[in-house]
Structure 1
Amino acid sequence: MFRLSNRTTLFLLGAILVLAFALRLYRAGTYGIFFDEKSTLLISQGVVLEGFNQKDVFSKTYFTPAEFWKPKTIADFIEADTRSDIGNSPSYYAVLWLWMELFGLSDWSLRMPSVLFSTFTVLLLYYFVKRHFNSEKLAITSAFVAAIEPFFIAHSHIARNYSMSFFLTLLATHLLLLILEKARTNKHPIGLYVAYGLVFVTSVLSHYLTVTVFLCHGLYALLYLRNKQTWITLASVAALGLGLVSLWFLFGGGKYTFFTLNYQAQLYRSIALTNPTGSQFGIVLPATFRNITVRAVPIFADLFIVTNGLGTAILGLRNSVLAIGLGSVATFFIHQYWADKNPPVWVYGIVPVVLAVGLPIYTVVPLRFLVLSTAVPFIYLIGRYVVSYVGTSQKHLVVLMFLLAFIPTLFLLFMAWRSGHTFGITQRYSGFSFPYVCVFVAMGLQQLIQLPRWFSLPLGAVLILQLGFVIQLLADIYADNQPKYTYFDRPRISNPYFYTAQKLKQLYAPGDTILYPNMKRVIYSEKIDKTYSPYALLDAQLVNVYLPEDAQFIQRVDPNERDRVVLVKGKSGEKITIFDFQDKKYRY
């Protein structure tokens, strides 16, 4: 249990949490669900994409919503997770199922757990920093950085496991540090070990790649844990946790995970070698050193909010060398004259002059390279904060945060090299690093205000410029045209399946028939993709999700219709187009 030290802190933390929640809630339900979220919705209801566990429904000439919504078993949920998400994230789907049982199936409801977990991460980060760094100011600053972090905000608008996984892995790190803290005094509270084990199991079953966080925990223990009893207990907890997780791989949806991952690796490797830029999966390049580097640089740059968006610019080598060189010169003068109360007159203007020298020289996006030139002095400020304000035992914690900031992404790069393709080098797969990076950024900001004004003001001005870029990024996220985070460069419309269901409820009368479109399905793997039907049933499934569970609407899939949902009036035979998907335009 923690207590806020004063009313000012309470007010600031409250304001930050309100800001974080508002930024995450704003327009969270505006745009229709995209393919991954369609999977999320159906899996949470125990439905397999394309109807593998609904053969009795869709193999009939006609079916009703009541038949679609027949009660689902635990086996249905496992089958849905197995075939629709390679057996990943069962703990997230369980949480989401319970949430939607309480609050319904709207897009707002579907995404609200992500909004809440992302907001809780901000609160937990505040407590994490306050508790382990013993600094109210650093905790407040870290929480503020996390509150406005575009990555967190973007993924709070996505009904997937990521926000939950980020929260759980931060909680696991907090619990580990409490365990190690108690170990220094030879205390071993069983409750902490049980909590850590439960969070470990829940985390891994929320996303398999959370294992990279626990790998960092293990490396940290190897470096600093010297208590034999703690080692034995943690090893027992890890073994028990792995045993529980293995049950999912042996008897649950995880039993097809490794087969699917191996198949996907072969598929993406084949695409990388034969059709790297023209497949439906986007750009999938061979895993050469150059290709991996080109994909990795933006990910590392976007980890830090102060360098977010500079990844593409950094790949321009000549401009980058100049910017980093100028930043290094500025850092030299900052270091030399930091403590000088009466420096030479020319020192007062040296930082803005040095940083501005590159503006007429940079050949592209000069303001971006101006921001890049401040990266070196900002890294210096982080280092200086660690040296000046972090105690000896807390310096060990800085090592852990460094591991957590970089190893998840390095793991992705290693797996890309091993698999032979770059498809998996994606920010969301290493997003567990962001909370710790927010703390590093907060350290730099805290140290910035300790600088003499003639140094802090020009650096602060450039950081305000970067804040403008971040605000523009957030505007693009809210406008649904930021591919880096929303996966779309053209804004989506509101959910067409929900709209279609509402229209059908208004217009349907006994004797009418609803016709659903179908498209020829691409079967990549007989074992993974094959169902009883060669045609896509997803449109019919998603409309039925939003129809009343007891409705007796007569429906069928029309083999002659590719794009439209049509209502055929019973008496007149009139055909009313309810929605036209226009090929893939509105199918996302």
Structure 2
Amino acid sequence: MFTLTRQNALIVLSGIVLLAFFLRLHNAGKYGIYFDEKSTLLISQGVCLEGANQKDVFTKKYFTPQEFWAPKTIADFVEANIRGDIGNSPSYYAVLWAWMEVFGLSDLSMRLPSVLFSTFTVVLLFVFVRRHFKSDSLALVSSGLAAIEPFFVAYSQMARNYSMSFFLTLLATHVFLLIMEQVKQSPHNKPVGLYISYGLIFAISVLSHYLTVTVFLCHGIYALFYLRNRSAWFTLAGTAIIGLGLISLWFIFGGGKYTFQTLAYQAKFYKNIAETNPLGSPFGMILPATIPNITKRAVPIFTDLFIFTNGLGSALIGLRNSALALLLGGVFTFLLHRSLTARTPQRPVWLQVAPTLILIAGMPVYSVVPLRFLVLSAAVPIIYLIVYHVLTKTDSQQKRLVLLMVLLTFVPTFFLLFMAWRSGHTFGITQRYSGFSFPYVCILIAMGLKQLVAIPRGFSLPVAAVLAVQLFFVAELLGHIYDGEQGKYTYFEKPRIENPYWYSAKQLEQQYAQGDTILYPNMKRMIYDEKIDKTYSPVALLDAQLVNVYLPEKATYIQRIDPDERDKIVLVKGNTGQKITIFDLKNVRY
């Protein structure tokens, strides 16, 4: 019989980490960069979107890669961050710049930090749970869930700040709990190193993504409930003030000083769309922030938080089917509760088959996607098992920790909903902005799964079978992510191709000869606000910029923007005037 010793736990963890790394690395460099990643690429090189800090390059009729790659200053990086990401995530861009200085510039290299941070999150989650919940089995199940969580996998393959922010906020919660533990054990001894670490992680986290403040808000709420040491309060307050001081430097002297101005403009801009053209804007569906509209957008956010309800958001629109599924799940859970709380251990024979019959009773009735509603039925007893485990299998200290896990699960999303209501539009209600919750959700689900194996088989086997069905849906979702076509996480209605800019650069390197000229598209650029968008050029330069990023820095290829072309990158041979189409970017700019 397998015994979960500390050594065996580490062996199992190694397998989980290898699985997590494989799932994140698979196809990570296959597809071309989408718009946010284009911003990431240019910002990390100190290049402003549309060339605001390259006027000396693009105001001339002809330019070269060598001119494009002229050395950049800190001011260039700051301005690129302002124009490309409203001054958000400077710590992430600093990490990415250092990474690519060492490992080179490619799509895979650009995404690898996200792959690694996401994998580190799986490892850190094991450490976190084992340290604070004192359970190797719970730690392994939690990290195993994080390893296969589609949300983590999807964002690990994007060159954006999210995976780094998820790791940092989990690390911050770990250090925060260590501080709370030290204060309880030794009220008069200050863990100075932990306070310093917490303050630094706080500053770096907020500068990796501003919305990480929701995690630290949860820490503050938890401290209000349970911290009764005046000295510790003063020290934590001092730590927060120092951290805010470090962050304020970015808002006073760096790109952050434009953040609030831009956010205010965006709030008005998207609110206007919500009120005038909610269904037909180029930014997708943006609805007025009424309670029904906010609820409609919030339902899939909450269901996708939990891996056992992932994908149920669309199914819940069918109210009659949902009501029946929840009713059957409720009956199943009632029988389960009676069984677990019965005074005598004897259970009637009918309880061996009745739970299964109850779960599948709705299958002939559900009018659409019956397996989805079967999963919804099973979600009710799983939630019950989480609560049962917390109430009966945890001590008072662990119950306090569970409260923190619940806060961290729901507060970030409720913060988004509040901000949407305050702004008057639903544009910002999206999973990635509250993705800091996922590690803590994994812990709660792990508690339910741990309890599942301890209940009578008449109840555990049908629930386990339904979870296997949901695991199939999760695997299907991962397949769509790898195919680059999952709209929920990758924003694409059709699969992407390999990076057309990298391909074009390699073709130009092979075919360019002295005397040739490279022509780039001159696609009309949308300018939404003259005050915010002060770029001098009335036309889009992005295609030319992105090809030049992949060209050799010392190259002297003659290039210009073609005033008559909208989509094609063309090489004009100098000796014959022949025009060779290097790439047609129509419908592949993403």
TM-score scaled to structure 2, two decimals? 0.98
Question: Could you tell me whether the CA contact under 8 Å between 1:301 and 1:308 is conserved in 2?
Answer: yes
Give me the whole-angstrom Cα distance separating, in 2, the residues matched to 1:241 and 1:458: 50
Question: Could you tell me whether the CA contact under 8 Å between 1:449 and 1:456 is conserved in 2?
Answer: yes
The aligned residue for residue 252 of structure 1 is: 254
1:122-521 to 2 correspondences below 5 Å? 122-184=122-184, 185-186=186-187, 187-338=189-340, 341-521=345-525
The aligned residue for residue 534 of structure 1 is: 538
Deviations 1:304-340 (A, max 9, x none): 0000000111122221111111111101111111265
Give me the whole-angstrom Cα distance separating, in 2, the residues matched to 1:7 and 1:171: 24
Question: Could you tell me whether the CA contact under 8 Å between 1:111 and 1:159 is conserved in 2?
Answer: yes
Give me the whole-angstrom Cα distance separating, in 2, the residues matched to 1:526 and 1:453: 66
SS for the counterpart of 1:265 is helix
SS for the counterpart of 1:195 is helix
Which range is displaced more, 354-363 or 417-426?
A: 354-363
Which of 583, 586, 589 is 1:587 aligned to?
589
**Identity in percent:** 68
The aligned residue for residue 547 of structure 2 is: 543
- Name the aligned partner's letter for residue 122 of structure 2: V
Which range is displaced more, 142-151 or 552-561?
A: 552-561
The aligned residue for residue 579 of structure 2 is: 575
- TM-superposed CA distance for 1:78, in Å, is 0.3
Question: Could you tell me whether the CA contact under 8 Å between 2:481 and 2:489 is conserved in 1?
Answer: yes
- TM-superposed CA distance for 1:101, in Å, is 0.4
How many residues are treated as equivalent by the alignment?
583
The aligned residue for residue 33 of structure 2 is: 33
Which range is displaced more, 354-363 or 236-245?
A: 354-363
The aligned residue for residue 19 of structure 1 is: 19
Deviations 1:490-546 (A, max 9, x none): 000000000000000000011111111111111101122231110000000000000
SS for the counterpart of 2:177 is helix
SS for the counterpart of 1:181 is helix
The aligned residue for residue 111 of structure 1 is: 111
Give me the whole-angstrom Cα distance separating, in 2, the residues matched to 1:70 and 1:391: 61
Deviations 1:528-575 (A, max 9, x none): 223111000000000000000000101111111111111111111111
SS for the counterpart of 1:527 is coil
Which range is displaced more, 170-179 or 187-196?
A: 187-196
SS for the counterpart of 1:556 is strand
Deviations 1:87-134 (A, max 9, x none): 000000000000000111111001000000000000000000000000
Give me the whole-angstrom Cα distance separating, in 2, the residues matched to 1:6 and 1:87: 45
- TM-superposed CA distance for 1:40, in Å, is 0.1
The aligned residue for residue 71 of structure 2 is: 71
SS for the counterpart of 1:279 is coil
- Name the aligned partner's letter for residue 442 of structure 2: C
Gaps of 5+ in 2: none
Gaps of 5+ in 1: none
The aligned residue for residue 527 of structure 2 is: 523
Give me the whole-angstrom Cα distance separating, in 2, the residues matched to 1:548 and 1:538: 18
Question: Could you tell me whether the CA contact under 8 Å between 1:50 and 1:537 is conserved in 2?
Answer: yes
SS for the counterpart of 1:567 is strand
- TM-superposed CA distance for 1:394, in Å, is 1.3
- TM-superposed CA distance for 1:390, in Å, is 1.4
Which range is displaced more, 535-544 or 322-331?
A: 322-331
- Name the aligned partner's letter for residue 116 of structure 2: L
Report runs of 4+ in structure 1 exceeding 6 Å deviation.
Answer: none
- Name the aligned partner's letter for residue 543 of structure 2: D
- Name the aligned partner's letter for residue 40 of structure 2: T
Question: Could you tell me whether the CA contact under 8 Å between 2:150 and 2:477 is conserved in 1?
Answer: yes
- Name the aligned partner's letter for residue 492 of structure 1: R
Question: Could you tell me whether the CA contact under 8 Å between 2:6 and 2:136 is conserved in 1?
Answer: no
Question: Could you tell me whether the CA contact under 8 Å between 1:523 and 1:530 is conserved in 2?
Answer: no
Give me the whole-angstrom Cα distance separating, in 2, the residues matched to 1:534 and 1:166: 38
- TM-superposed CA distance for 1:342, in Å, is 2.6
SS for the counterpart of 1:529 is coil
